[in-house]
Amino acid sequence: MAYLLGAIPFGLLLVKWFKSVDLRQTGSGNIGATNAGRAGGWPLGLFTLLFDVLKGAMPVYLAGIIFPASTGTTHFLALALTAVGAFCGHLFPVYLKFKTGGKGVAAAAGSFAVISPVSLIISLTVFIICAALSNRVSPGSIAAAVSLPVAVFFIEQIWVLVGCAAFIALMVIIRHRDNIQRLCAGTEPTIR
C-alpha cells in the first residue's frame, strides 16, 4: 500500500490537468515539486509538495497505528519498511513503468515527520540554510539528506530507523547526480 501510494505522480498529474504540460518533457524532466513549480507556477508546485509529503506521511502514520509502540521492535521495523516503500514508490513509480520518478525528498520528509519530527526539523533547517546560501534547491536537498541519518542517530538512537534514514539519504543523493553535475558546471537553475 505504501509503495502504491508513493508511486502516484502528483506533480505530473497536477501540471498536466491544469497546464496541459508533461513535466517529463520540460525543465529538469523531474515530476517533483520544484519542476512542477517552474513548469506550472508556484501554486501547483506547492500542491505537489503537499501531496508528495502526505504520500510519505500517511502510510507511515497508518503503520504506527497497525503496529503500535507497545509492539517494540516490530513497531520501528514497520515504520522503517513503510517509509522505504512510500519513498521507493516515488522514485520508481509503477504507474510510469518504474521510470521518471521524483527524487524522493518530499516523500522522505513526510515519512520522517511521523517517524522522528525533531530529526526532520533539523534536516529542514539544514535545507533552508543551504538553499538560501546557494540560491538553489538541490544543494539544500542534498545537505538535508546527509543530515537526516545523523539527526536520527542522535535523536532516536534506534538502528533500524538510522538504517532507513541512511538508505533514503543515499538514494536522494544518487537521484541528484544530474543536479550535482549541473552544480559543478555552473548551470543549475537558481531559486530566484
Which band of pLDDT confidence, cut at 50, 70 and 90, is reported for residue 28? Answer: confident
Task: Say how far apart CA 122 and CA 55 lie, in whole Å.
Answer: 21
pLDDT, average across residues 79-86: 98
**Residue 100 pLDDT greater than 90, yes or no:** no
pLDDT, average across residues 112-117: 98
At residue 189, the pLDDT reads 83
The pLDDT tens digits of the residues spanning 122-151 come to: 999 999 999 999 999 999 999 999 999 999
Crossing angle of the two packed helices 105-115 and 159-175, in degrees rounded to 10: 170
At residue 105, the pLDDT reads 95
The C-alpha cell 503496529 sits at 67
Q: What percent of the chain has pLDDT over 90?
A: 90
For the chain, the distance separating the N- and C-terminal CA atoms, rounded to the nearest angstrom, is: 37
Burial of 80 (0-12, 13-18, 19+ CB in 10 A): buried
**Residue 27 pLDDT greater than 80, yes or no:** yes
